[in-house]
Amino acid sequence: MRFFGLSDLHLSFSGEKPMEIFGPQWFRHWEKVEANWRERVTPEDVVLLPGDHSWGMRLEDARRDLEWLEALPGHKVLSRGNHDYWWQGIGKIRKAFPGLIFLQNDAVTFGSVGICATRGWLLPGSEGFNQAQDEKIYRREIDRLGLALKALPAQVQTRVVMIHYPPLLPHLKTTEFTACMEEAGVDLCVYGHIHRTHRANPFRGLHRGVRYQILSCDFVDFTPQLLELGS
């Protein structure tokens, strides 16, 4: 069993939003994703997908996108992104797509590896953060990360957090998200949200004992990234 990760697929098989408007690299990007996925991932492997899976507004709108994901090899672990509007009612989603693993402020284990997830939010001090509008949501997401971390069994040897928004930036390396993960002994945090069209640069690497890895499709050439974890 190996662990891979890929984020921000932004699928739209129902035609809600063609991604090539964001650049030629997105033209029929799902074909690149599928080819790279099938070349690398086996049915025994685990693939972490931290958010922005489908442009669908309702679950029915996202059905074709999620069925496409369901048919790919491996155990697919999904968490919510800011554009996953179809993600409403975790019980309903899990029942509709039993071939996918949906995490929402909780955890799943594979052998000695524990994986938990939350969405995250814009960071105070980052571009676009509005104190009046964002502070309450930010605080709520900190609490949700705490719940997710508590859901990890004590006996796991490797702790992984999936979060959609970057929990830190090159100029903001100490945040309440990072503090929570450090205190909980997290080994790896995978995230997405940032794209190459954004001015912000993602942080990649080790910081205070936690390794951070961005998985946004266009940052990793639409290729599932092998995560260095034990199984």
Mean pLDDT, each 10-residue run in order, the chain (231 residues):
95 72 71 96 98 90 94 98 92 96 96 96 88 93 97 97 92 91 98 78 90 94 88 43
Q: How far apart are CA 33 and CA 111, in angstroms?
A: 27
Q: How far apart are CA 21 and CA 96, in angstroms?
A: 31
User: What torsion, rounded to 10 degrees, do the Cα atoms 211, 49, 120, 128 define?
Assistant: 100
Q: How far apart are CA 81 and CA 28, in angstroms?
A: 21
Predicted local confidence at residue 22, as pLDDT: 66
Please state the φ and ψ torsions of residue 104, each to the nearest 5 degrees: -145, 95
Predicted local confidence at residue 34, as pLDDT: 96
SS3 of 205, please? strand
Q: How many residues appear in the chain? A: 231
Which single residue is written with the structure tokens 């039993």? Answer: 98
Ordered structural domains, the chain, with CATH? 3-227 (3.60.21.10)
Q: Residue 50's closest CA among 148, 158, 126?
A: 148
Predicted local confidence at residue 152, as pLDDT: 98
The set of residues, in sequence order, having a beta carbon less than 8 Å from that of 194 and lying 6+ positions away, is 166, 200, 202, 214, 216, 219
- 8 A C-beta contact, residue 50 and residue 44: no
